[in-house]
Amino acid sequence: MSRDQIYSLPQTRIGDFTFDDAVADVFPDMIARSVPGYSSILSMIEQLASRFIRPGTNVYDLGCSLGAATMLMRGRAPATSRIYAIDNSPAMVARLKEQIGSEPNRCDVVVQEADICDTPMSNASFVVMNLTLQFVSIEKRTELIQTIYDSLIPGGAMLLSEKIRFDEHDQNLLMVDLHHDFKLAHGYSELEIAQKRTALENRLLPESIDEHTVRLRDAGFRCVAPWFQCFNFASILAVKMEPAGPGTELSK
């Protein structure tokens, strides 16, 4: 695995962070050393795939990067389901297309270079947005979450992982600081951390768990369960409930 050294030398002008060839080349190392709990989240995506993916349905990995979640889900998905792995970074999509082929007795994987905000979705049993919504402009997030909700079959689920912010000032500072310590402990220098922070400033827009929860509930998800948090990263499972059976009280 190539080591991420993108921000190791001083830069005179730090441009906005982009998912270009340089990032795609080192992405597995970058994300493992930058996101506390990334490997745990991936292994839970695999577990959830077994539970939620239904035969004959679609699965969406939105902002799939190099397809880490897609590969794990494919191992658990019925052969009659289909995974759409979507990303708008040509560098990520090219690498994933090279790697993924058809495998006997495994479901199809369709890799698409597209903006997830313009992607039609339907008949979905499981939708994953692992650290992607944070890069979508805030004005477009509500419509995107609604599109996902509408595309899900009853009983289908969405997993949303995000970098988060905290309303309480001291708590926010503490979590940002602990994330900083995490990066130092994983071999990044103060310079690398500072330069990447500048690059991400206008690109990665974190919201609070409450803001995410309210948006998910407003879209129609009745079960919204934050299930993971480590410092300023969190993951939420949202389930579209089956319609209530005859005689069952609907409690909203």
Ligand X SMILES: C[S@@+](CC[C@H](N)C(=O)[O-])C[C@H]1O[C@@H](n2cnc3c(N)ncnc32)[C@H](O)[C@@H]1O
Ligand Y SMILES: O=C(O)C(=O)C[C@]1(C(=O)O)C=C[C@@H](O)C=C1
CB of 78 within 8 A of CB of 55?
yes
Which residues, including other chains, have CB under 8 Å from residue 99's CB and lie 6 or more apart?
Answer: 66, 67
Q: Which is nearer to ligand X, 68 or 157 (CB)?
A: 68
Number of separate helices (H) and strands (E) present in the chain: 8, 7
Q: Which is nearer to ligand X, 24 or 224 (CB)?
A: 24
Of 7-15, 28-36, 51-59, 117-125: span binding ligand Y (CB under 6 A)? 28-36
| 117 interacts with ligand X by CB under 6 A | yes
Q: How many residues bind ligand Y (CB under 6 A)?
A: 9
Measured CA to CA, the distance from residue 223 to residue 159 in angstroms comes to 12
Q: Which of 30, 85, 128, 144 is in the footprint of ligand Y by CB under 6 A? A: 30
Termini Cα distance of the chain: 48
Please tell me whether 116 is known to bind a ligand.
Answer: yes
CA 21 vs CA 31, 112, 214: distances in Å? 15, 17, 36
Q: Which is nearer to ligand Y, 2 or 80 (CB)?
A: 2
Please tell me whether 197 is known to bind a ligand.
Answer: yes
| 163 interacts with ligand Y by CB under 6 A | yes
Q: Which is nearer to ligand Y, 204 or 205 (CB)?
A: 204
Q: Which residues pair with 237 in a beta bridge?
A: 159, 225
Closest CA to 109 of 153, 70, 72, 75: 70
| 34 interacts with ligand Y by CB under 6 A | yes
| 148 interacts with ligand X by CB under 6 A | no
163 binds, among ligand X, ligand Y, none (CB under 5 to 8 A by kind): ligand Y
Binding site for ligand Y (CB under 6 A): 30-31, 34-35, 131, 163, 196, 200, 204
